[in-house]
Every structure is written in C-alpha cells, then in structure tokens.
Structure 1
Amino acid sequence: MRYYSTVIVVTVLSVAYITAAPVEIVDDSLSELAADDTAAELGESGFSVPVTHHYREVNLKGPDAYDEAIHKWGVQKDLPTGLNVNSNLILHSDFRKRVPDTSVKATPQGNDVEYTAPVSIGTPAQSFNLNFDTGSADLWVFANTQPTSQTKGHRVFNPTKSTTFKKLSGYTWGITYADGSGASGTVGTDKVAVGSAIVQNQFVELPSTVSNNFVQGSNDGLLGLAFGKLNTVRPKQSKTFFENAMSSLSNKLFTAYLRHAAVGSYDFGYIDRSKYTGNIVYTPINTQNGWWEFPSKYYKVGNTNYTLSAAATGIADTGTTLMLISSTAAKNYYATIKGAQANSQVGGYILPCATKNIPPFYFNVGPYVASVSGANVIYGTSLGTLGGVSYCFGGLQPITGNQFIFGDVFFKQNFAVFDYANARFGFAPHSY
C-alpha cells in the first residue's frame, strides 16, 4: 500500500482552517455503550490534518507504483501484445539497479509520492506519520514487536512506554496481497489522536513482521479510512478511527485535498470551500465490498466516447498512486499520444517526457464526468531514452477486470468528499 523509501523529504507547513478544542471519544468496538455515553460533543466544528508530501527519486516511482497497486488490489497487468519495446529503451543507471525484471512477479521497490499525516498514539503521546488510506480499514504502526532489521528509518511505537496501552489477548490481524506480501501481528487498544480528536481504546495493530515493501516505506504505518467491514482484526473486527470519531463531528464526512508538489490536508467533519472550484457533485456509493465504490461505465478520449461493461465500477483510493483503468481504455488513450507505447522493460505504458498538448482523459464518476489533465499523465521524470528521446512513465495504466482504481493521479486534480452519513462520494476540481 504505497510504502516507500525516502531519498529527499520536503515537509510543508499546513494551515488548519477550522480549529477546535480536543474531543475525546471512546472506541466502542469492545462494548455496547451508546455513542452519547462514550463521546464528547465537538459541536459545530471539525478538525483538519496536514499531510506531508514526500518526494522520491521521481525517475523510479512510476513502475514501482504500478506494481504496488497490482499487488494491493490482486489484479493483473493488462498490457497489449505486439507493442512492447523489449530492449531499445536505454535505462538510466539508477533505474537499472532498482527496478526488477518485469517478466517476474515484482516486490514493490518504493520511490513514489505518498501523502502522510501526523498521528499520536499512547500516553505520553508517541508521534508517527501515517498513510491515510481510503482503500483499507486497519490502523497499524511500526512497533518494537518487529525485528529491528525491519524498523530502520521508521518511528517505532513502544507499547510498554504507554500507560494507556492494553494488549488484547488472542487478537490478531493480517493484511495479505495477491503476491503473498503483507503484514500481520498482535492487537491492543490505546489512545489515538488525529488533529483535535482523541479516541480512547482505539484498536492499534502491532506487526510481528512486515514484508519488504512496507520496510522500504517512508511512512510509519497506515490509518485506514474505508468501511470497517474490511478490517482484518480477529476474532472481532475493529471500527476505523473515523467511524469512532464521526459521531462527535458536525458532519459524518471527511475530505481529501491532495495537491501536486504542495501542502494538502484531510479535513474531518466539514467542507472547506476555499479548496475547490465550481460545485461538488455527488454519486451514491456501494458499500457492499467495504470500499468507496461507484459506477464508472464511460470514458472519453479526444472526441470519442466509449462504453465499458455494465458492471464496471470505480474505487476512490487515496492510498494508490496511479489510476488503474481497463486495458482497452489505456490502449485507446495512449494511441492518441505520439510515441507512447507499452514497454515490457518497465512493465507499463511510457511516453516521451517532452510531449506537449497531451489530451485529458475523461471518465465518469456515477452520472458525472471527471478528468485527468495531460500534465498529470506524465508521471515523474525520465526513465531512460529511446532513440535519443527521454521517456516517462504514464500516470494511467491498464488492469484486468471491471473494478478500476482512482488513485492520487485523480486526487491531485480533484477535491474529494467521503460522506459516510449519506453513503456518497463527491468531487470538484482544484488546481493541479
């Protein structure tokens, strides 16, 4: 889930548009207490959490992000046949050293942009930068329960130094991807603070071991913002942090404002009108699978409209970097860009980095049309050269199946509203 190693870290300061006194909420995952008995009222306020934009060696991040998303969602790449450039791309030396042969199953190597936010756990508070992920529902953090070889470069939670930590005997958790990678371990409860909200007795998942893609990441864990039915804690699932906190917010929603190369934020309980243009449009979501999922059956390339399967859906996932779309849609789109081609060396579509006037890609979110601009399609910097021309990785990549993943390539141009109370997803454009 997009856990990457840091080469250069740029930390950007944020502004909280609405502030509020801290509110303490008790996780009722272990009890049947009513919300009114366990949560203090926040009133007509919410809280805003700054996100830190991590920069990587940008010439490496595109292919790794594609492999990472493939592993997370358990899908397969779906590149066309007969169009692969097998050996003519002269890769830059640093890329050759790090990207595995794409003819074999790859373990993500990291090196991509991700958005993290500060989270405090325990008493006294221990601080971490976590990845807020609308594609999952676990809250886990690097901990001293892991081998020290896995924790280098991460802030590590020490439960013995928290007076409020309680281990849950017999409870376990585990996240597994299609390639067998993942993380698993034990579970406890502790005080967790995000912005101005504090949840007492929030389930906190501590790894016994994590796979290499997590170890190489720059974040210290993950805070899931999908629906709790996806939570992997057993024998009893945990509610997410947001599900525990939302009853004390003015509105049971949160927003994602993820910007290209600039500060962004997650806002909880309110919508900041200064962060988008035009009007927010909403579409109902299907929560059956636990994701923020909605119909997405049409797309447009140039002046041509295309129809997808009646079963096609989109999933809004802040934890995936790229946009993963149908193979036919990717083929039709890149056919409009001179020099663009599927490349077997890096395992995805590439295009000349200097390409001008790249067309936008239009697609539907429910009954509404969203877009990704051409400027957002060139992902990172040069991977290498072909015939003396520098080539970059594409921000749109093909997968099999009818569930398409709208990751940060989408969010970097669209302000998003995750409206839990009304089971709907909203978006409006913001500047790229």
Structure 2
Amino acid sequence: MSNAPDSDVLIVGGGLSGLPLALACAQGGLSVTVIDALDPATVTDAAFDGRVSAIALASCRMLDSLGVTAHLEGQMQPINDIMVSDGRVREGASPLFLHFDHKEIGAEPLGNLIENRHVRIAMQKAVEAEPLIRLIAPRFVKHVEYGARVTATLDNGEEVTARLCFAADGRNSPTREAAGIRTVGWDYGQTGIVCTVEHELPHEGVAQEYFLPGGPFAILPMVGNRSSLVWTEKTADAKAILALGDEAFADEMRARFGDYLGACAPTGPRWSYPLTLQLARDYVRPRLALIGDAAHGIHPIAGQGLNLGLRDVAAAAEVVVDAARLGLDIGALDVLERYQRWRRFDNVALSLLMDGLNRLFSNDIGPVRLARDLGLGIVQQIGPARRFFMRHAGGVVGDLPRLLKDETV
C-alpha cells in the first residue's frame, strides 16, 4: 500500500484566495485538493455577496496568467481615474482634492472593478478545467493533524492527506484557531453598508473616495450606468440607516452621492459588514501556512483587501513551487518561513496605513480637517508623489512574485 499523500497541497477554503492559490500551484505542477464548507452554487448566487472588488493592475495580470480573466468577458469595469476628496454630508466636497489619472503612468487602467460573484464564477470555471485540482464542497474540515504529512478529517469521515496545508478559510479561520495561532486587532465601531446604485449619466470609469465624518463613502464604477457603494458609518448610525424604508434610504444615499451622475437610485438588496482590523501573529507552522483573510483582515478604505490576499497567493505559490522543483520538502518550516518573511511586513505596513487613514479622515475636528485637505492639495501638485501612489495602488512596486509581473509561476 502506498504511503504517498492524496495530493501535494491541501487548501482549506475555496474562496477568492483559495481558488487562485490552487490554480497557481497547479500551474507549477503540484496536485491540489481544495475543501470548502460552502456549496459553489451558493457563493455565486446574486444574494450571497453584493460587494465588488477593485482588482489592481498587478492582480489583474496574475488572474490573466491563471486563466481566470478568460471567463470574465463583459464583467470587468476598468478604473481609469480615482478622485479623493473630503467633505460633510449635505455641504459638498472641499475644493482641495487628489486626482489619480491612469494616463500619467501608462496606457493600462489602474485596475478593474468586478463583482465578487463574477470573480468566483470565473475562478470556479478555471478550476474545473485544471486536472491537477480536486474540489470537495460542501464539506467541513473537522480536524487536521500535522506530522510527516497533513491529514484532514472531513465531516463525513473521509480523510484527505497532503504534504502541506494552506488555511484560506477567512477571518474566523477554524484552521488557524485549531493550530493555536493567535491574532491581534480591534473593532473600528464602524459598519460598511454595501448596495448598488443606478444612475442617469456614465461614470467614465472614475472611482470616488469621498471622506465624511462617519467614514469613507466610496463610489465604485460597475459595468453599465451602475456604481457600487461602500458606505461607512459609525455602527449605531449604520443600523439606523439600514432600518429606513426604501425612499428614506435613497434620500440619505443621495445626500452623500450628489447629482454629478444625474438622477440616481439604489437598486437591489443592501448588505452590511462590521469593520475590524485583524492580523495573525504568525503565518506559518510546520506543514501549515495562512493566506488571505486568515492571515490579515483590514479596513476597506482603499479596496486593498483582496489584492493583499492575491499577493499572498503569488508569493506562497512561488515559494512552494520553487521548493518542489529543488526537491525540498514543501511543508518544512524553513521553506514556509520564506513566504512569511516575504509577505508579513507588506501586510502589516499596509494594514496600519489603512488604519491611520481611517482615523485621520473619519472625524470632524476642524484643525485636522484643514491639515488633511491641505495634504490632499499638496500631493495633487507633486507629480512624482502622485505617480508613486498610483503605482503602489496598482501593485506594481516592491519585491513582486513572478505571477504579479505577468509571468507564470
């Protein structure tokens, strides 16, 4: 009887980090088993998740290399410009603002806005076409043992073995908790309201980040004359807004949205999400590594959450594939620590930067408002600084894994 594991890599969680990691590992010649607690049909239903993701330029290149964008025809809205401004409800925006124009750094857009459910559908189709990937869903992982290999016991009693386990099972990761990896973080006392708005005029691919005292009010362009709102309020205020009837809710939305896109109205359901910061103290254990939200959950103020997860995916796949090509044990701690060194500083630094920006802008203190408005105006006048921020937002600066440089793993 063979002692070979069922696959090289086991991924617990088949979401927006788990599936691209499976594709990247398979592209590098590794066999992969993905176990997800949710039915694939559930997570792609329109009622499951109303959010859109701002997928940065480097992340788009990676998804293209993994064969995902081939299934996204007609669903990708280019981000041509980003407008950042500060203001108050019903008083309008400050005359000082920051404008990011993609033409300053090249012909390609800064990224693309894509509905999360369409990203999931495309990833599932790419996974179905990959013979080295086995997807088991819906199934729960009841227990994982780490020794000479990984052994995961599922809720139906089935055992799955691998050389390495990746936890991609979200902020409340049971896999991380069972491994004894602790987290640090805090609750912002804010809630993100998400809904879709239909408007009369075209948005021209311009994303708006409008800072209000209760939190950022992001207007994200979608395909067609639609935009997605990520509307942050203090939690008590958000509960009151969510409890409003349709017309009263629309009036509150319009008071912040303005009329620059003509007549507008929310359409479809509303969603809400508590906003917290959460960082894992460690990313790795022998035969275990955390990726995506299992490793870090940040404020959505600049839409970088998914991009951080995709950077984890690109780095983790490169580390593991390179180790396998050298004949090394891909689950050994010294191999996985290279991934941890590569990703932890970037994740922590960006998480704390987003935390600082939220604290700076989510208040109505007069001197602070004046200082931040002046800061926006000054950066607007300094071309090199503005272009650096655009490249950083596009994910094309720093020590990039091959997948983020439009190369294969």
Which TM-score band applies after superposition, normalised by the shorter structure?
under 0.3
Q: Which has the higher helix share?
A: 2
TM-score relative to the length of structure 1: 0.24
Q: Which has the higher strand share?
A: 1
TM-score relative to the length of structure 2: 0.25
